[in-house]
Structure 1
Amino acid sequence: MAPTPGPTLMGVDVTWAATILSGVAAFAVMVAIYAATSVRDPMTKRVKALNDRREQLKAGISASTKRRAKLVQRSDATDRMRDFLSSAKMLQDSQVKAAQVKLAQAGIRSKDWAVAVIFGRLVLPIVFGGIALFYVYGTDELADWSPLQRYAAVAATFLLSYKAPDIFLKNKITKRADAIRKGLPDALDLLVICAEAGLTVDAAFGRVARELGRAYPELGEEFSLTAIELGFLTDRRHAFDNLASRVALEAVRGVVTTMIQTEKYGTPLASALRVLSAEFRNERMMRAEEKAARLPAIMTVPLILFILPPLFVVILGPAACSIKDTMMSGN
């Protein structure tokens, strides 16, 4: 005896749909519980990175050559990737430096990851492109596709696999820059207060980093690194240039330029930072107003697709049911 089919909605079995949705909901609950129970302190990793940078600067100033070699730690996997790329003549110094700059802007302090990024550009297209070639041309799963569609699928797989490391880094750089941009006006206000209180530049950066480390951890980390470099490097301008290179943000470059000019010409630091802070606050307000002005246009599509249909059902549904009942009772 065949099983009785369950109720359907728009051709979809309601029982199966409810089962799948229940499974998805249970999985989401498990993920939420895991995320809540495995929360880690984000400052632990940042403090470790700052301590490592302090040790590197100490080693560069006072340690011997053997001590410096001990402080430079490289993993075996990184060495193997570097040897493979060097043997294939695909590891260029310009590529490594560009990858290191992007990693620093993304908040990744280990320079060995630059080799991994270049290695990923080589390996990922081979792996995923090979899988796509086998799936498209070696099986009959896409036999009904035209030759142009199959070629486009394989080419898109190769291209996305090659660009995947750069896309990942660009996404992290953008998020980090946005987080730093939000806290920059507050940081400049605190720098003005510290400068007027008579603190030195490195002490002011360290104080601001401690005060804003919880609210804006990315900005606090960058200011802490700058304070450490200001205390150890012989050329203070080099520390400011490092800050500008680590943050992909024009506002930070403007702050760095102001700091360098005040160091060179002896202009008042507090007044210059106060002007920059006011400009950044006005810019942040303008961005908020721009987003608010775009909101009606952005809400048009969700309003038409998701809000108006349920509204019509709620308003016209009872009337339609009443008309149907009336017509059936009349018959």
Structure 2
Amino acid sequence: MNPAAGPTLLGVDVYWVATVLSGVAAFAVMIAIYAATSVKDPMAKRVKALNDRREQLKAGITASTKRRAKLVQRNDTADKMRSLLVSMQVLQDSQLKQAQLKLMQAGIRSKDWAVAVIFGRLVLPIVFGGTMLFLVYGTEMFATYSPLKRYGIVAVSFILSYKAPDIFLKNKIQKRSDAIRKGLPDALDLLVICAEAGLTVDAAFHRVSKELGRAYPELGDEFSLTAIELGFLTERRQAFENLATRVDLDAVKGVVTTMIQTEKYGTPLASALRVLSAEFRNERMMRAEEKAARLPAIMTVPLILFILPTLFVVILGPAACSISDAFKSGV
């Protein structure tokens, strides 16, 4: 004898849905507990990277040849990938420099990852695209699909696997640029205060990075690195140009141009930075107003899909039940 079936809603067993939702909730709680107990200090990695950069600059100026060799960290995996790419004649200097530039803009300091990006462009299409090619044409998994659909699946898998490293880097660059843009007006205000207080440019950058390191870690990282390079590089202009290279923002390039002109012509730094800070704040306000103006159009789709059907059920549901009961009693 079969056990009595549980209550159903729209043909779905309510007990089964409740069991699945309980399992999902328990899994989410476990993930939340793991995330809360495994939080790492975000400043530790930043400080280590800055110290490494400081040691590299020191090694380039004062250290002996033997100490420089010790400070240059070799990665065996990166060397193997580089050797393979060179043997296949697919490693070009222009591609390597472009990958290193994107990595710097994404906040990844290690140059070995540039070789990994180029190696990923070569290997990922072979692995994922080849696997999809075998599944489509070597098995019966997609036998019911038309030839055009099967070709499209294989082509999309090859294209996405080839573009995956670039998409990943572009996403990281965009997020990092947005975070730096958000904290740039506050950083310029602090730079104005430091300049009016009589601090030098490198001391002002170091102070601002220290104050904004918790609120805007990306911006604090870039300012700390700029302060280190200002203290060690022979040309201060090069330190500002490196900042403009590492950050993919027109606003930062404007700040760098102002700093270079100030260093070259001796113009007042505080007044120029105050004007730039006001412009950036106005730009941020205009961007917020633009998002607020787009909100009604964006809310149209959720309103039609989720809110209006609920209102119809709440408003017309009792009337429909009354009409149904009336028909039943009349019959």
TM-score by length of 2: 0.97
Q: Does 1:210 align with 2:210?
A: yes
- Tell whether 2:199 aligns with 1:195: no
How do residues 124-135 of structure 1 correspond to structure 2 at under 5 angstroms?
124-135=124-135
Q: For 2:59 and 2:26, locate their aligned partners in 1 and report how far apart those are by CA, in whole Å.
A: 52
Q: Which residue of 1 aligns with 2:93?
A: 93
What RMSD, in angstroms, separates the aligned Cα atoms of the two structures? 1.3
**Residue aligning to 2:321:** 321
Q: Distance in 2 between matches of 1:135 and 1:14?
A: 37
Shift of 1:325: 2.7
User: Residues 219-252 of structure 1: CA distance to partner in whole angstroms, max 9, x if unpaired?
Assistant: 0000000000000001000000110010000100
Q: How far 1:314 sits from its partner (Å)?
A: 1.4
1:319 positional shift: 2.2
Hey, what does 2:76 align to over in structure 1? Answer: 76
1:50-65 matched pairs, under 5 angstroms: 50-65=50-65
Cα 1:9–1:141, aligned 2, differ >3 Å: closer, same or farther?
A: farther
Tell me how far 1:4 sits from its aligned partner. 5.2
| Stretch deviating more after TM superposition (86-95 or 176-185) | 86-95
C-alpha separation in 2, matches of 1:24 and 1:126:
35
Q: What SS does structure 2 have at the residue aligned with 1:286?
A: helix
* 2:146 match: 146
Q: 1:137 to 1:14 in 2, by over 3 A?
A: farther
Query: Between the two proteins, what is the percent identity of the paired residues?
Result: 82
Aligned twin of 2:281 = 281
What is the alpha-carbon distance in structure 1 between the residues aligned to residue 74 and residue 118 of structure 2? 16
**1:7-65 CA deviation, whole Å, 9 max, x = no partner?**
44444443433333322222222111111111111111111101000000000000112
Q: AA paired with 2:165?
A: P
2:306 equivalent in structure 1: 306
Superposition deviation, residue 329 in structure 1: 3.2
Q: Following TM superposition, by how much is the alpha carbon of 1:315 offset from its aligned partner in structure 2, in angstroms?
A: 1.6
List runs of 5+ in structure 2 lacking aligned partners: none
Aligned ranges 1:234-313 → 2 under 5 Å:
234-313=234-313
Q: CA deviation at 1:276?
A: 0.3
Which secondary structure state, in structure 2, belongs to the residue aligned with residue 228 of structure 1?
A: helix
Distance 1:49 1:286 in 2: 35
TM-score between the two structures when normalised by the length of structure 1: 0.97
* In the alignment, structure 1 residue 36 sits paired with structure 2 residue 33: no
2:137 match: 137
In structure 1, what is the Cα distance between the partners aligned to 2:174 and 2:282?
21
Post-superposition offset of 1:100: 0.7
Q: For residues 121-176 of structure 1, give each alpha carbon's deviation from its aligned partner in whole angstroms, at most 9, with x where no partner exists.
A: 00000000111011111111111101110000000000000000000000000000
Report the Cα offset of residue 6 of structure 1. 4.4
For residues 265-306 of structure 1, the C-alpha deviation after alignment (integer angstroms, 9 at most, x for no partner) is 111111110000000000000000000000000000000101
> Structure 2 counterpart of 1:200, which letter?
T
Q: Which amino acid aligns with 2:95?
A: Q
**Which amino acid is the alignment partner of residue 126 of structure 1?**
I
Counterpart CA distance in 2 for 1:18 and 1:120 is 43
Aligned length in residues: 331
Uncovered stretches (5+) of structure 1, i.e. residues with no partner: none
Instruction: Supply the AA of the counterpart residue of 1:22.
Output: S
Partner in structure 2 of residue 223 of structure 1: 223
Query: Secondary structure, in 3 states, of the residue corresponding to 2:31?
Result: helix
Matches of 1:153 and 1:21 in 2, distance apart? 33
